[in-house]
């Protein structure tokens, strides 16, 4: 039996938008430390949704002020963790390239591509990491 968690869809989109905006600002001002901060914040969300600070901020402050319930979605906790961990790892790899001064211009372009993928998941609902999770789950389930 598949265990699922109920998540606020608006809050999940808000947290993705915050991370995407943070990394986009980092790209625009070429600040590698903002990339690292976004990566660490996303990685914290892997351990618990209570450590996903933009998600919790949206639930506590913005949801209460709007007085609307919002849609709850059922998600596989492995999927949510995989998406957060994958995105954090991709950003951390970009940070490492910039920090060690290897292929810096290419690393900033790479970070911009990751940012666009974050915004794609946020606004369109198409998440490449979720597709990877489903693909890997099917491969390893057949073995």
The pLDDT value given to residue 65: 61
Q: What is the separation of C-alpha 71 from the centre of its chain, rounded to a whole number of angstroms?
A: 19
Contact 11, 61 (CB under 8 A): no
Bridge partners of 8, per DSSP, are 72
Bridge partners of 72, per DSSP, are 8
Reported confidence tier of residue 68, pLDDT bands at 50, 70, 90:
low
Q: Which of 6-15, 65-74, 134-143 has the lowest mean pLDDT?
A: 65-74
In 3D space, the residue among 142, 111, 130 whose CA is nearest the CA of residue 19 turns out to be: 111
Q: Tell me what the mean pLDDT of segment 62-81 comes to.
A: 73
DSSP assignment letter at 50: G
The pLDDT value given to residue 1: 42
What's the CA angle centered on 43, arms 37 and 45, to 5 degrees? 110
Bridge partners of 9, per DSSP, are none
**Residue 66 predicted with pLDDT over 80:** no
pLDDT in tens, 89-114: 999 999 999 999 999 999 999 999 99
């Amino acid at each position: 039996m598949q265990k699922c968690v109920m998540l606020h869809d608006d809050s999940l989109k808000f947290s993705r938008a915050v991370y995407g905006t943070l990394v986009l600002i980092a790209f625009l001002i070429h600040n590698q430390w903002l990339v690292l901060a976004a990566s660490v914040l996303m990685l914290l969300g892997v351990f618990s949704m209570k450590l996903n600070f933009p998600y919790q901020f949206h639930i506590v402050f913005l949801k209460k002020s709007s007085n609307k319930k919002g849609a709850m979605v059922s998600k596989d906790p492995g999927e949510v963790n995989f998406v957060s961990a994958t995105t954090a790892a991709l950003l951390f790899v970009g940070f490492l390239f910039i920090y060690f001064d290897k292929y810096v211009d290419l690393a900033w372009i790479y970070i911009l591509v990751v940012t666009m993928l974050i915004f794609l998941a946020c606004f369109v609902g198409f998440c490449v990491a979720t597709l990877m999770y489903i693909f890997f789950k099917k491969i390893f389930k057949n073995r």
